[in-house]
Amino acid sequence: MNLKKRCISSIIAIFSPLISGCEAAEIARFYHHPSDAFYENMNFDAPALDEFKDNGVLFVVSVKQATYEDYYVWLGLYATASQSTPIKIIHATLIGNEWQKDYFINKQIIFKERSRDGRLLTDEILVEVGGDFFNLFKKSQNITMEVAYSIDGQEKKKQLVIERRIEKHYIAWPT
């Protein structure tokens, strides 16, 4: 009798997720394709990255959701050798659908950290998107990160277009 109860309990435990309800959760992910390709292979010399380089410095971007109400936008800066020409990030602007947010950074870049493969020198800028701009950021199809910087005494700008993709994940809820 005890064996029969265990068998029935096991069958119910195995098949109960199949009869429970499901709900789709939507997660917004952000991609900058040249940066993603760089981070995948750490290939500094890829031709697709040429437009994101200036004076031997590569500009890449990565976006991650930090909490339910914050995103982190990392501006990664990479070089093959120590820069003799000073580079300073003045500000970054995130531009979305009918909105923009300026971040005044004013940071001198010092390439002293090594990349994970040890071949490149790196430094980074972290921008936090939260508060009122979180929902605007999350709902924008494309976001442009415009970086104003000074290199060799000249002020310049780089633009990196970040694409939003919605991923659906199905979550089983017991009914």
Residue 77 has, within 13 A of its CA and on its CB side, a CA count of 25
**Cβ-based burial of 57 (10 A; exposed 0-12, middle 13-18, buried ≥19):** buried
Q: Are 129 and 73 in contact (CB under 8 A)?
A: yes
* Tally of helices (H runs) and strands (E runs) in the chain: 3, 10
Asked whether residue 3 is assigned to any structural domain, the reply reads: no
| pLDDT at residue 6 tops 60 | no
Asked whether residue 30 is assigned to any structural domain, the reply reads: yes
Please tell me which residue, 128 or 83, carries the higher pLDDT value. Answer: 128
Phi, psi for residue 40 in degrees, rounded to 5: -70, -45
pTM score, whole prediction = 0.78
- CATH at residue 42: 2.60.40
> CA 175, CA 171: separation in Å to the nearest integer?
12
Asked whether residue 10 is assigned to any structural domain, the reply reads: no
Average pLDDT over residues 109-120: 76
pLDDT tens for 11-22 read: 555 555 555 556
pLDDT tens for 129-159 read: 888 888 888 888 889 999 999 988 899 999 9
pLDDT tens for 104-114 read: 999 998 887 77
Give the total number of structural domains in the chain: 1
The pLDDT of residue 175 is 52
| Count of beta carbons in the 10 Å neighbourhood of residue 82 | 9
> CA 23, CA 171: separation in Å to the nearest integer?
5
| pLDDT at residue 98 tops 80 | yes
Asked whether residue 84 is assigned to any structural domain, the reply reads: yes
- H-run or E-run covering 146: strand 142-151
- H-run or E-run covering 63: strand 57-67
Asked whether residue 161 is assigned to any structural domain, the reply reads: yes
Asked whether residue 6 is assigned to any structural domain, the reply reads: no
First to last CA, the chain: 29
Domain range for 71: 25-170
